[in-house]
């Protein structure tokens, strides 16, 4: 769909992520090494401003369930108000992943469960190291 894709990790002071910004970027780089048109980046601030700085055309957002839509729709509209030069594209996951969230994966990993069917191998390794699982 796109000539180039930037996967941008947002810095959000309202959240306490499990992994540092650099760890998240490392995991993403490792997952996308075979994709020449993918760039990993991060930003702090407004998405609309970041997209403008990058001269972006579109933002891709995931929708797992109808409950995600209302929030994402509001976000898309406010981003359009702040920067009318990009579109928000909503994509749905495969049906078998609609229930999945980072919170669920972290809970399974923290309790020593197998997350291999939910995350790439490198992310599984990071989770095991973080929770010191075998």
pLDDT in tens, 35-71: 999 999 999 999 999 999 999 999 999 998 888 899 9
| 111 lies in some domain | yes
From 103, 125, 128, 6, select the one nearest 60 (Cα to Cα).
6
Q: Are 86 and 61 in contact (CB under 8 A)?
A: no
| 124 lies in some domain | yes
Q: Decide if pLDDT at 119 tops 80.
A: yes
Domain that holds residue 119: 99-129
pTM for the structure as a whole: 0.87
Average pLDDT over residues 81-102: 91
| 109 lies in some domain | yes
């Amino acid at each position: 769909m796109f000539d180039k894709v930037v996967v941008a990790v947002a810095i959000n002071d309202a959240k306490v992520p499990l992994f540092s910004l650099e760890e998240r970027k490392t995991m993403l780089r490792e997952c996308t090494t075979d994709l020449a048109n993918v760039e990993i980046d991060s930003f702090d601030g407004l998405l609309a401003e970041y997209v403008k700085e990058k001269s972006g055309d579109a933002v891709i957002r995931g929708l797992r369930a109808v409950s995600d839509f209302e929030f994402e729709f509001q976000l898309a509209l406010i981003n359009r108000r702040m920067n009318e030069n990009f579109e928000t594209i909503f994509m749905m996951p495969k049906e078998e992943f609609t229930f999945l969230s980072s919170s669920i994966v972290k809970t399974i990993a923290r309790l020593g469960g197998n997350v291999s069917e939910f995350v790439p191998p490198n992310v599984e390794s990071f989770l095991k190291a973080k929770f010191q699982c075998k």
